[in-house]
Copies of this chain bind each other. A is one copy, B any other.
Amino acid sequence: SVTLFGVLDARVALGRGSIADRTQLASAGTNTPRLGVRGVEDLGGGMSASFWLEAGLFTDDGQGSGSNANNQASGSGPAVAGRQGLVFNRRSTVSLSSGWGELRAGRDYIPQYWNLYYADPFGNVGVGNPMPATYTFGGVNGFGGPAANVGVYASNTVSYFTPGSLGGFFGHVQYYFGENPQNGAATEDDGSGGGVRVGYASGPIYASVATGRTKYAAGDNRQSNAVATYNFGVAKVGLQISRDKKGPLTGKGWLLGGWVPVGAGQILASYSQYETTATGNPEGKKLALGYIHNLSKRTAVYTTWARLKNSGGAALALNGAATAPNTSSSGLDLGIRHSF
């Protein structure tokens, strides 16, 4: 049982800022485009083996996304424009599962990122991508990993997941290797680390917390966050709190989100903010509103509008626009998503 699966997502993305506006045909308005192969084998006795290979790709130009071999800057070089091939950067894992849970090895999401995903109506992508995800994992002010993609995924992971039958409770603990030679250098443990995520899901209630640390001689990278959602039926609401450290820097933020079903579609809304202890205490506040109209279970059209307000010297802009410190930026997505 091998399954070929994927998502394509393309959007006309408008960005407005005080320095430059921008219009693009971009990808990933509501889901990151991907192509993957996965499968499960029943080994008998309640045991199974499985694999999952999933590559990120850009719908607008057909390119892939890079990986990182050692969770350090040296493991992720600059992309050669136009030449980035398909890489299973989103997941490349092999697993053994049984009544005791799942043991998984390879490249995978880190628990402290994965946890953020649950309270964000916009799924951490598109113009509605909230402030905590932007800072914590996006590399702003030195947060996130030292190189592309470190901080969302890690390579060289070994993970344990609890089975799906613990009365609503679940857990995920992960370790990853930096793979440096053990020669006494100060940096010999760089890129090693781990994280843990525990939670509870039952009926309308979902709640989970995660924390993780990646070691770097230049300053460890710590991420901690808690999310909770409650489904009232007419609407689901979510709350997220993040607190991060990168060496001497501290960052903290929160998000309030909502999902409102309307006919074949869904209205999405979120307010989020994030502030760091970098010089000036830069801060971003963002309001995002969106609507997804489902043409089928696999296909939807959508639009998202967002406005970001900078302060403390921050100069973040939306959808590729450029804006001066302490000014605002707004953006609009109009797109289509198709999965298979």
Contacts and interface: CB of A to CB of B under 8 A. Distances in A.
Contacts of A157: 25
A106 B338 contact: no
20 contacts: A2-B4, A8-B53, A9-B94, A20-B183, A24-B177, A25-B106, A25-B156, A35-B37, A41-B340, A49-B338, A55-B62, A59-B107, A60-B69, A60-B105, A62-B90, A64-B86, A77-B81, A83-B87, A84-B87, A94-B337
Nearest to A296: B43
Interface string A40-63: 010110010111010101111111
Contacts of A107: 59-62
A21 interface: yes
A237 interface: no
Contacts of A24: 156, 177, 179
B92 A47 contact: no
A295 B299 CA distance: 39
Contacts of A149: 82
This chain's copy number in the assembly? 3
B182 A20 contact: yes
Given A61-B69, A67-B61, A181-B321, A76 B87 contact: no
A91 interface: yes
Interface in A160-206: 176-177, 179-183
Chain A interface residue bracket vs B: 35 or more
Given A25-B158, A158-B12, A82 B69 contact: yes
Given A92-B62, A105-B59, A147 B87 contact: no
B296 A51 contact: no
B82 A85 contact: no
A133 interface: no
A119 interface: no
A61 B92 contact: yes
Contacts of A87: 62-64, 82-86
B12 A35 contact: no
B23 A179 contact: yes
A279 interface: no
A10 interface: yes
A312 B337 CA distance: 52
Contact of A83 (B4, B50, B84, B321): B84
A1 B64 CA distance: 24
A239 interface: no
B81 A79 contact: no
A178 to B, nearest CB: 9
Most-contacted residue by chain B among A6, A43, A76, A83 (CB, 10 A): A83
A68 interface: yes
